[in-house]
Structure 1
Amino acid sequence: MGLEGTVSAGTLYDKVWDRHRVAELPGGSTQLFIGLHLIHEVTSPQAFAALKELGLGVRHPERTVATVDHIVPTTSQARPFADSLAEEMLSTLERNCAQHGITLHGLGSGRQGIVHVIAPELGLSQPGMTVACGDSHTSTHGAFGAIAFGIGTSQVRDVLASQSLAMNKLKVRRILVEGSLQPGVFAKDLILHVIRSLGVKGGVGYAYEFAGSCIEALSMEERMTLCNMAIEGGARCGYVNPDATTFAYIKGRPFAPEGAAWERAVTWWSTLASGPDAVFDDEVRFDAATIAPTVTWGITPGQGIGVDETVPTPEQMPAEERPIAEEAYRYMDLAPGAAIRGLPVDVCFIGSCTNGRLSDLRSAAAVARGRQVAPGIKAFVVPGSEQVAALARAEGLDRLFQEAGFEWREPGCSMCLAMNPDRLEGRQISASSSNRNFKGRQGSASGRTLLMSPAMVAAAAVTGQVSDVRELLQSPSALASAPADPRPVAVSPAVLS
C-alpha cells in the first residue's frame, strides 16, 4: 500500500509528505493522499451517513480496513450484545462495510482487536505510508516510519470519499534519547517522562521524530507504545525511522510484500530515514539511564513523576501549570509533597492500544508469576487482539494470570475509555496501562486513574498499592526471556472461542 519511487532529502516527515502531496490548495493547505484508512464502529457511522446523503461512494475500499474495538464487551462477546446501542453500532459497521466492499476484521475472525494493534500485526502498517483513522492514537503507526494521525468524523467522510485530506504541514522536533533504560523501565515510562518534561501542549504544531541509541534498541512493540502517546504530548504524530528491526517485524505478516516485491519494498524503505542533511525545527535530548518507573499523579498525562518522587508543589512548577495542578490536587485527593509510592489502588487494568500487545502481557506476567492479587483488588488483563490472545494462551499466560488472581478477558478497548461495560465505580483508583487519565475517562465521573507500565500495574495488583516494580523483579532478565515481537500464527475461530 506504500508509494514507491524516488524520495527527497530531509527528514522522514518531509519525504513522506512530498511523496503523498496531491495539490496545494487555495487556502494554503495541502491535499494529501492517504495510503491506509483504518475505521471502527464509533467514528464511522456518521461518515457513511454523510456519504449517502451526498450520493458518494468509497473511493478506495481496498485501502480501507475496519475492525470493532471500542464498544465490545470483554466478558462475553455473544451476539446480540446486552447493550443495544453497542449492538446497533456494530451492526451498522457490518452493513456499511458489506455495502462498500470494505474488509472488516470482526469478532471471531482471528484478526479482530484494537485497530492500532491489528494493523501492525497484520502487516498493514508499513514505512513511508500516510495512515489516518478516526481515533486519537493513530500516531501508533508512526513506529514503522509512517506519518499517521487521528482525524475527526468529517475527515473520515473526506477520506472515504476522496482518499485524501486537506492538511497543514507540521514542524518536526527530534527527540534524541541516548543510553539504555534500566531493568524494570519500559517505553511507557520513557514516553510519560517525555510528556512530563515537554508538557501536554509542548508538541502542538509538531511531528515528533524519536531517535537515538535508546530508540534504536527498542522492539517494534515498544516503539508503538512510544509513538502511540505522542498525541498526549500535543504532537499531531510521532515516528521512528525504519531500520532492520522494522523490516524483520513486517516480513512474513499477512499483508507484507513477498518475493521480489519484498526486496523492492525494503530497498525503498531504506531510503526513508532522516538523513545527515535533515534540518529539524527543534531538538530535545534525554538520557535513558536517568528515567525511573513513572506514574501519573494528576489529571493529564503530563502530570507524572518517578515512583520514588513526591507530588510536586505549586512552587516547583511554572505559573501557567499551577491552576491545573490545583484542580488535580482536589480531584485526586492528593496533597502537594505526598508520596505516590504506597498509594492504595482499587482496580488494576492491563490492556489498551498503548500496552495490550504480547510483550506487554509478558512483562506483567513476569511480575505476577508466583504471586497473588492483593485482597480486595480487582485486576484484569485484556489482550489487544484475538491474535495477541491466541499467542498468549499458547504461552500459558492466561493460566498464569488467572492462577495469580487476575481476570482474563476477551480483546477490546475495555477500561481505557469505558465505552463498554468495563468501568470504574465511584471514587475508585485505577492503576492503568492505558493512555489518558482525564477526569471521568474510565467510566466514573469521580474515578481516578494512575497511568503506568503494564509491569507497574501488575506490581500494584499484587501489593495493593503503587509499588516500584524493580523491587519485585527477582530476575530482571526474565523480562527478556521471550522475543519481544511475536510472529503471526494461523488461528481458527474455534481456537479463539
Structure 2
Amino acid sequence: MSDKRNLFEKVWDLHTVGTLPSGQTQLFIGLHLIHEVTSPQAFEMLRDRGLKVLAPERTMATVDHIVPTDVQLRPFKDELAEEMMSAIEKNCKEFGVTLLDIGGGKQGIVHAVGPEQGLTQPGLTIACGDSHTSTHGAFGTIAFGIGTSQVAYVLSTQTLAMNKPKVKRIVVNGELAPGVYAKDVILYIIRQLGVNGGVGYAYEYAGDVFDAMSMEERMTVCNMSIEGGARCGYCNPDMKTVEYLRGRPFTPKGAEFEKAAEWWLSLASPLDAHFDDEVVFDAGDIEPTVTWGINPGQSVGICEAIPAVEDFPAEEQAGVKEALLFMDLQAGQSMRGVKIDVAFIGSCTNGRISDLREAAEFVRGKHVAKGVKALVVPGSQLIAKQAESEGLDRIFSEAGFEWRSAGCSMCLAMNPDKLKGREICASSSNRNFKGRQGSPTGRTLLMSPVMVAAAAIEGHVTDAREMHAALV
C-alpha cells in the first residue's frame, strides 16, 4: 500500500514523541534558533528553575532585531538595545549556546543565517521566537514561530507541545510575467485567501511557479505564510534544495551528504498525497502588487484600483474603512502616484543577495528622488560581503541609497531605523500594521524590492515594468 502522507505528515510523525493528556502532540524540535529579543526572559526562566539547555548543539543564536544598522560601536547608544545585546552574550556563554555575534562575520537576521549556514535542512522541525520562522519551510522543514515561554520550554526539553494543523495545498500553475516576483505571488495568495485563510492549516506550496523558483524566492513565499494565518508554510525539497545546501558549514560532507540528499528528496509529497484542502491559481493573473491597507491582505495589482468598501464581505467592511482612513486613501483610487517619504529594501522577506541584485540592476544609472530617504539593509554579514564583492553597494550608493550593515532594521523598528510622524514607506518587508515601522501614525506599503526601488527613484508608487526595459 502506497504512502499517501504529504511532507508535513511525514515530518510530524517522525518527530512525534507522544500525545499529551491535553490531546496535543509533544513534538521533538530538531533545530532551535534564538535571538536577543525573545530569549532573555526564557533564559531567566531556566535559571529560576535550575535548568540547563538540553541540547545546545541543536541551538543557534544570533542578534538582529535591536542591532543598529548604521553605527555599531559598543556600547550601543540605545541603552535597552545594549542591555539585550549584553544579555544574549552572557546567556549563550553561560548555557553553552553558539552565538553568531557582530564581530564574527556571520551575524544576521535569524532567518537568513539559518539557511546560509546550512543549519536549515529538509525534514527538520524548527522553532524560533519570531513570527516569520515559516521562512525555513522553503527547504521542506516544518518551522514554527513561538512565544517566549515556549522558547524556555524548547531550551529545556527540546520539545514543543502543539496541536496538529491540517494541510492546505496551494497550487500556482503557469508562468509569471516579467517583472512579477515571489513577493507579488505571496501577496496575491494572501489577498485571495485572506489573512485568516490559513488558520488551523499548514500551507504546502506546489505547482509550476514554485517549482521554477529559486530557493531564495521560495523563502520569500514561505516567510509570509504566517501573514495568511497559516501555522507554517513549506515547499517540497528538490535538486535546487540539495544544491543550495551542498558545501554549507553545517551540512554533511562527502558520501554522508549524498545519503542525506537521497533522504531529503524522499520526503516530498507524492503525487497522490492526501490534503485537507486545495486551491489553484493561475500565474497569469498575478501582477506587481502593492498593499493599500493595514494588513498584508489589503492589496491590489498595480494596474487595479482600490476596491469599493461594498465589495468586501460585511464582516470586513469596518476594517476596510479603518484602513482607508488611516492610510488617507480612497476606494477607487489607484496606488500609482501615491507619494512616499522612505524606501526600505531589506528584512527576512527580501534582504537576500538575489533581492539586492535585482534592485541594484534596476537603480543602476538612476537616482533617488529628492526628499526620499532610501535604505538598503542586507539580511546578513555574509550577504553584505557578497554584495560588496559584486559592487552592489557602490551601485546603490551612487543612486542615493544608504548602504547599511546587517539587521532587521526598519521592518520592526526595534532599532534606530524608524518612520517619523505620518511618513509613508515603500517597504520590501512583511507587515504593514499600524505602528509597525516605529511611528504610531507611520504608513507602510508592502511591495517587491524592485517596486520599492522604482518608488524610490520616482518619489511615488509606480509600475517598475514601465521604467525598465528588462522587465517588459
Do they fold alike, i.e. is TM over 0.5? yes
Query: Partners in 1 of 2:128 and 2:410 — Cα distance?
Result: 20
SS for the counterpart of 1:75 is coil
SS for the counterpart of 1:398 is helix
Is 1:223 the counterpart of 2:222? The answer is no
- Picking from 53, 64, 85, the partner of 1:69 is 64
Query: What displacement does 1:270 show?
Result: 1.4
The answer to whether the 8 Å contact 1:8/1:14 transfers is no
Query: Partners in 2 of 1:49 and 1:287 — Cα distance?
Result: 50
Q: Deviations over 1:198-253 (max 9, x none)?
A: 00001000000000011000000000000000000000100000000100100011
State which drifts further: 359-368 or 65-74.
359-368
Query: Partners in 2 of 1:320 and 1:184 — Cα distance?
Result: 34
Query: What displacement does 1:66 show?
Result: 0.2
Match in the other structure for 1:403: 398
- Picking from 436, 457, 463, the partner of 1:462 is 457
SS for the counterpart of 2:356 is helix
Match in the other structure for 2:469: 474
Query: Partners in 2 of 1:185 and 1:321 — Cα distance?
Result: 28
> Sequence identity of aligned pairs in percent?
65
Is 1:25 the counterpart of 2:20? The answer is yes
- Picking from 96, 112, 135, the partner of 1:117 is 112
Query: Partners in 2 of 1:308 and 1:399 — Cα distance?
Result: 33
Match in the other structure for 1:81: 76
Aligned 1:436-455 pairs, distance under 5 A:
436-455=431-450
Q: Which amino acid aligns with 1:32?
A: L
Match in the other structure for 1:103: 98
The answer to whether the 8 Å contact 1:459/1:472 transfers is yes
Q: Deviations over 1:338-384 (max 9, x none)?
A: 11111100000000000000000111112101100001110010000
SS for the counterpart of 2:17 is strand
Match in the other structure for 1:433: 428
Q: Which amino acid aligns with 2:459?
A: G
Q: Deviations over 1:391-430 (max 9, x none)?
A: 0000000000000000000100000011000000000000
Query: What displacement does 1:123 show?
Result: 0.6
Aligned 1:62-461 pairs, distance under 5 A:
62-461=57-456
The runs of 5 or more residues in structure 2 that have no matched partner are: none
SS for the counterpart of 2:175 is coil
Query: Partners in 1 of 2:32 and 2:133 — Cα distance?
Result: 10
Q: Deviations over 1:12-40 (max 9, x none)?
A: 00000000000111110110000000000
Query: What displacement does 1:277 show?
Result: 3.0
SS for the counterpart of 1:73 is coil
The runs of 5 or more residues in structure 1 that have no matched partner are: 1-6, 478-497
Q: Deviations over 1:92-127 (max 9, x none)?
A: 000000011111000021110000001001111000
Q: Which amino acid aligns with 2:358?
A: S
Query: What displacement does 1:176 show?
Result: 0.3
State which drifts further: 359-368 or 196-205.
359-368
Q: Which amino acid aligns with 2:218?
A: R
Query: Partners in 2 of 1:441 and 1:25 — Cα distance?
Result: 37
Query: What displacement does 1:476 show?
Result: 3.3
SS for the counterpart of 2:32 is strand
Query: Partners in 2 of 1:301 and 1:251 — Cα distance?
Result: 34
Query: What displacement does 1:312 show?
Result: 1.1
Query: What displacement does 1:282 show?
Result: 0.5
Q: Which amino acid aligns with 1:259?
A: G
The answer to whether the 8 Å contact 2:4/2:274 transfers is no
Query: What displacement does 1:316 show?
Result: 1.3
Query: Partners in 2 of 1:110 and 1:181 — Cα distance?
Result: 36
- Structure 1 segments (4+ residues) deviating >2 Å: none
Aligned 1:40-51 pairs, distance under 5 A:
40-51=35-46
Match in the other structure for 2:52: 57
Query: What displacement does 1:276 show?
Result: 2.4
The answer to whether the 8 Å contact 1:184/1:473 transfers is no
Match in the other structure for 1:13: 8
Query: What displacement does 1:278 show?
Result: 1.2
Query: Partners in 2 of 1:8 and 1:159 — Cα distance?
Result: 31
Query: What displacement does 1:260 show?
Result: 1.6
Query: What displacement does 1:9 show?
Result: 4.2
Query: Partners in 2 of 1:248 and 1:429 — Cα distance?
Result: 40
Q: Deviations over 1:29-69 (max 9, x none)?
A: 11000000000000000000000001100000000000000
SS for the counterpart of 1:246 is helix
Match in the other structure for 1:486: none
The answer to whether the 8 Å contact 1:366/1:473 transfers is no
Query: Partners in 2 of 1:184 and 1:276 — Cα distance?
Result: 31
Query: Partners in 2 of 1:108 and 1:307 — Cα distance?
Result: 42
State which drifts further: 224-233 or 304-313.
304-313
Query: What displacement does 1:81 show?
Result: 0.2
Q: Which amino acid aligns with 2:125?
A: T
SS for the counterpart of 2:469 is coil
Query: Partners in 1 of 2:258 and 2:113 — Cα distance?
Result: 24
SS for the counterpart of 1:266 is helix
Q: Deviations over 1:159-179 (max 9, x none)?
A: 000000111110000000101
SS for the counterpart of 1:383 is coil
SS for the counterpart of 1:426 is coil
